[in-house]
Structure 1
Amino acid sequence: MASVNPGHPSGIAESAGAARRPRADPDAPTGRRIAAIIAERLGHRWKEILLDENAAPGLGQHPWDARPPIVLDTTAAADLGYQAVGDYATIVADTIDQLCLIGRRGFG
């Protein structure tokens, strides 16, 4: 099983027929884990303060907070020989670096 990540630039895979297909990450990181992966890549450290049941409605919500989680069965793809190029942390590293470079240089 894998989590879908359509917003990630590598979330689109090229097939032999040049059609674009959504792809799924081989692992399914939580929003908290995604934040930790990005922070680690950027060398950022913080103290987490977790929300409890008394938190204001909507506080802490994010796009990856689907309940139940969106999970894809990638068994058929694996049966056809598909192999993921890496887990979420590996795949997103280049995108983080590119976004930081754009932030420093600008879009032009």
Structure 2
Amino acid sequence: MRAANLFAQIPPPAAEEHFETLFTRPGLRIERILSHFHASPPGFWYAQPDDEWVLLAQGSAELEFGDGRRQALAPGDWLLIPAGCRHRVAATGPDTVWLAVHAGP
């Protein structure tokens, strides 16, 4: 059995977001993502092959979708991003912590 705290051992802010895989199995990956005023590069879009369920645990963020829609997230907000959905991180606040669950077929 392994236990840990989502908010423990957070590295200092860096130039890039920090991705840490917490759990993985075939067709499933759970990540902790740490952001600090990060955004996707201009013109960059994610369109992942798996569904992604994200929970904003701490901080603030805004996602942008390929259809022009934007979604602001506050702590406790979660969102299901279907496989293939074009999206990007428009902005994050300081010390932002995400929990992301990637689930494939």
* TM-score > 0.5 by shorter chain: no
- Category of TM-score, reference length = shorter chain: under 0.3
Which has the larger share of strand?
A: 2
In the superposition, the TM-score normalised over structure 2's length comes to 0.24
Q: TM-score, normalised by structure 1?
A: 0.24
